[in-house]
Structure 1
Amino acid sequence: MSDISESSIPGQTSISKGSPASEGDSSEIPRTAIDSGTADAHRPDAAPPALKLTPISPESFQRYTRYRTLTKRRTSYVVPPLSRSFSREPPTQWTAQPHPEGGLYFIHEQQRIHIFTDAYLYDKAIHAQITSAVDQLLAREEMQSLSSTDSGQIDIVLDLMEESPDNDECGYYLVDHSARVIFWLEEFDISTLEIWSFVPGIESPSHAKLCLEVEYWSHCEYFPAAMPITPEMLDELRDIIIYGIGDTMTSATTTQALLTDHLFRMLTLAKEMGEPVTKTDSTVKMRHGSIAVFARFMKEFARERFYNFYGEKTARLNSDESVYGSIAERSYILAWVSPLLFNYPLRHLRTVEVANMDQLIKYASWQKLITALSSEWQDVVLYGTLVLNTNVGFLSIPASAASVPGRVASYASVSFGLGSIILGIMLLSQYRLESPDVPEVTAAAKFFQDHGESAHGLETLSVVLSLPYALMIWALITFILAFLITIFETSSAPMRGVISAIVITVFLAIVGFVWTEKPFMWTHNLGVMRKKIQSTGAWMWSNDLSRRTKQEDEKQGPTFTV
């Protein structure tokens, strides 16, 4: 591909001498402040070799992975007399801009083309590399075509792969604010993006565009000076938040990732963003801190739209439904183990599956899950302590010493109670919410990653989560058994009859209550086993029927239809 002189690209000028764009007829290239004869302390001494331009995305931008350090030593700084300005002069035609978070980036504006970089341009070698990369990009034939067809603002972002004089590669991406997408001058496989890997089954261009919109808002968050805000954009954000609040307040299966109180706080900030602004020419002049927060909010909502197939045929409308129609098969092991643990594994398994629907973790579902489990484990620790105290008191009764089976049952109750308390405390310490005010799902991601790798990993997890409560129930049962054994061994016949009547009455009342309240929980395992047996029998019967039909057809000969 031949290089194009930059004089043919409207609104673009060369940034340095000796770049690829300046080769050939120099009369076609307008002179700029950098190319003028004035000396510049920041100007590179010699043009660096051409860099390899690599397409990247905002998610691979190295702002948070490039660690810059300095030497820990004592320094001094003498302030000259009458000094009141302490600003540092950036390279010509570049503007140094600190991010509200504290990071430093640089901006170069050329009418419609705005260039951004995190590279430390106060370093001559790095400045020379960025200058070379800019000249290479602006000299591309695709940039000429872009300039002749687009009239909106276009951003170019450059990211040196290494901040060293020997670096020979520079990442880049372009931004179209009118379309809210990032793009490149060559093909780019967006399936290599991390966010894309979370959502299998993407087929439509409109869904792929949502992925690029997430990256667009990341760019605006990184470079708030790049984004022009309009009143319509502020209204759009408020409308999204208001709908999210209404949905979380009225729907138990909302697809919103955040809780209602978080959305209310976001709405408060969104309203505050519009207060100190001044409107000029259909745009809103906002401070960079507000713009960065605005972009971060929009990124969160764009990401959720991408995850939920927003605007697609198979859009997710309920958080407990899979867009892939997949129904997890329960294993035979769970069907047998769950009754021994009073069907708590099945209940926890469904809750865990909803929180991890389609392997997409939502903070709202995660917090509800952990809050419910934490409350359950706290109750278990309390009840287990009461069971231990009751057993200690029971074993101190002289009558219990005469019953060996009663003591054995009481010892078993103590063991179950201790196991329940220990497991409850361990699970509480491991899965406690660090900061309920900050919607962080890193712990949730690790939670499901550690247990969801195997085919039945979540089943194993559900068994572990239900162990504290199930062991506590077994502790109660074995204590009741120890009490009854001791009573029946040490009491008279009339006393046994009275106790038996009372025990049977209480037992029937408990069973009736449980059966009435949760019949599904008690019949689910039997239903699973029955379905598996029926499906196996139906498969065998269909095979046998097809075999006999084939044999009869062979005896009758071929059949023709006129």
Structure 2
Amino acid sequence: MDRPKMIKELRELVMHASAEIITSDMSLSPFDADELTRILELINHLQANTLDNDNNDFPHSTCVIARFMHYFYIAKFFNFCGLPCARLEADKSVYKENTTFHPLTSSISLALEAMLFWAPRAHLEDLRKVWVDECINTPHWKDFNKNLMAEWTGITIYSTVMLAVDVSFLAVPNVNIIQSQSIGIIATYLSIIFITGSLIVSVLLVRQNQRHGFESAEKAADFMSNMTGTFFGVRALATVHSLPYAMLMWGMIYFAIAILYNVFKSTMVAMLASVVSGCVVVIMFILWFLWAAREFHIFGQLMRSVFPSVLAADTLP
């Protein structure tokens, strides 16, 4: 194939990838929109050089075309382009999904999810959209890590504020720190421990993400293979990603216990009535949000873990 035809084919690939990105959230393009725009500008320069010269003997231009073609054809290969089982969206697998899980894995995963406020489930869904058939789409991988960085940075700010609140609470004159065996003091200490753990894990995850989060698809695939090559697979990595949020939540819960304990030590009826009414209102709003957002599917998870064969039989036609 001569160079003008190669340039035209490359232009067609870039335009198709650009249209796919505009019309789909799960594009299979190996480049994002900004990169495709810059590639199209380079193609225009290549085409101009081809028209200005008759011999077309420019090894650098050939190398540029070959490098871009390499990425597009690698993407076609991994997505089974041209075959009946071709992948049409980046988060879809071309293989039959394995819905059977080991009972030990399911039980431990359910217990961890309950302890971590079902945060691993959200991270697991995001990971499964990125790590599909042990392949990684570079634009989605970069977006995934940007979202993780934003989440962990926000959690770090919240943890810092909560740590200052816990320390300030211990300095309140009504909180007798000498009575170290009181429930309020113990709960405050536990809150400080969990908040500090959230800060440490957030910093470690941010550092890891800065090292591996914006690498090429090949290096990112090697990193994901090492991280998920355990007994629990992707679930283990999803659990690690959810630790900062979960420990921050436990820190807030223990701080709330410390506050309520010091409030309910009082015998003033007006104070008890106002605090109880406020707690009831807040708990009702939280439960209302959880029910409306369907954040916790506790009974469904329990049924799937305890009676997997029964539920599988019910779903058969």
Offset at residue 328 of structure 1 (A): 5.3
Change (3 A) 1:328 1:369: farther
1:483 aligns with 2:254: no
1:529 aligns with 2:302: yes
Query: Which structure carries more helix by proportion?
Result: 2
Q: Which residue of 2 aligns with 1:391?
A: 166
- Give the alignment partner of residue 232 of structure 2, picking from 452, 456, 459: 456
8 Å contact from structure 1 (residues 342, 470) kept in 2: yes
- Give the alignment partner of residue 59 of structure 2, picking from 244, 265, 288: 288
Offset at residue 252 of structure 1 (A): 1.1
- Sequence identity percentage: 27
Q: Which residue of 1 aligns with 2:33?
A: 260
One-letter amino acid of the counterpart of residue 299, structure 2: L
Q: Distance in 2 between matches of 1:305 and 1:343?
A: 36
Offset at residue 276 of structure 1 (A): 2.1
Change (3 A) 1:272 1:425: same
Q: Which residue of 2 aligns with 1:507?
A: 283
Task: Report 1 or 2 for greater relative contact order, CA contacts < 8 Å, sequence distance ≥ 6.
Answer: 2
One-letter amino acid of the counterpart of residue 77, structure 2: F
Q: Which residue of 2 aligns with 1:322?
A: 93
Q: Distance in 2 between matches of 1:448 and 1:328?
A: 21
Structure number with greater Rg is: 1
8 Å contact from structure 1 (residues 370, 431) kept in 2: yes
8 Å contact from structure 2 (residues 134, 221) kept in 1: no
Q: Distance in 2 between matches of 1:538 and 1:274?
A: 60
8 Å contact from structure 2 (residues 188, 258) kept in 1: yes
Change (3 A) 1:516 1:396: same
One-letter amino acid of the counterpart of residue 232, structure 2: H
Q: Which residue of 2 aligns with 1:22?
A: none
1:379 aligns with 2:151: no
Offset at residue 442 of structure 1 (A): 4.5
Offset at residue 484 of structure 1 (A): 1.0
Taking structure 1 as the reference length, the TM-score comes to 0.52
Offset at residue 433 of structure 1 (A): 5.6
1:429 aligns with 2:207: yes
Q: Distance in 2 between matches of 1:411 and 1:303?
A: 54
Q: Which residue of 1 aligns with 2:70?
A: 299
Offset at residue 428 of structure 1 (A): 0.5
Offset at residue 534 of structure 1 (A): 3.7
Aligned residues: 307
Q: Distance in 2 between matches of 1:435 and 1:265?
A: 22
Q: Which residue of 2 aligns with 1:139?
A: none
Could you report, residue by residue, the CA deviation over 1:494-539 in whole angstroms, capped at 9, with x for unpaired residues? 211111001110111122112212x1x311x532331344443589
8 Å contact from structure 2 (residues 141, 213) kept in 1: no
Q: Which residue of 2 aligns with 1:233?
A: 6
Offset at residue 416 of structure 1 (A): 0.5
Structure 2 unaligned regions, length at least 5: none
One-letter amino acid of the counterpart of residue 89, structure 2: N
Could you report, residue by residue, the CA deviation over 1:458-502 in whole angstroms, capped at 9, with x for unpaired residues? 111111110011101111111111111111113512211111001
Q: Distance in 1 between matches of 2:25 and 2:133?
A: 18
Question: Displaced runs of 4+ in structure 1, greater than 6 A?
Answer: none
Q: Distance in 2 between matches of 1:232 and 1:539?
A: 54
One-letter amino acid of the counterpart of residue 333, structure 1: I
One-letter amino acid of the counterpart of residue 250, structure 2: W
Q: Distance in 1 between matches of 2:208 and 2:261?
A: 39
Q: Distance in 2 between matches of 1:382 and 1:485?
A: 26
Taking structure 2 as the reference length, the TM-score comes to 0.89
Query: Which structure carries more strand by proportion?
Result: 1
Q: Distance in 2 between matches of 1:535 and 1:365?
A: 33
Q: Distance in 2 between matches of 1:376 and 1:328?
A: 30
- Give the alignment partner of residue 142 of structure 2, picking from 360, 367, 371: 367
Q: Distance in 2 between matches of 1:450 and 1:284?
A: 49
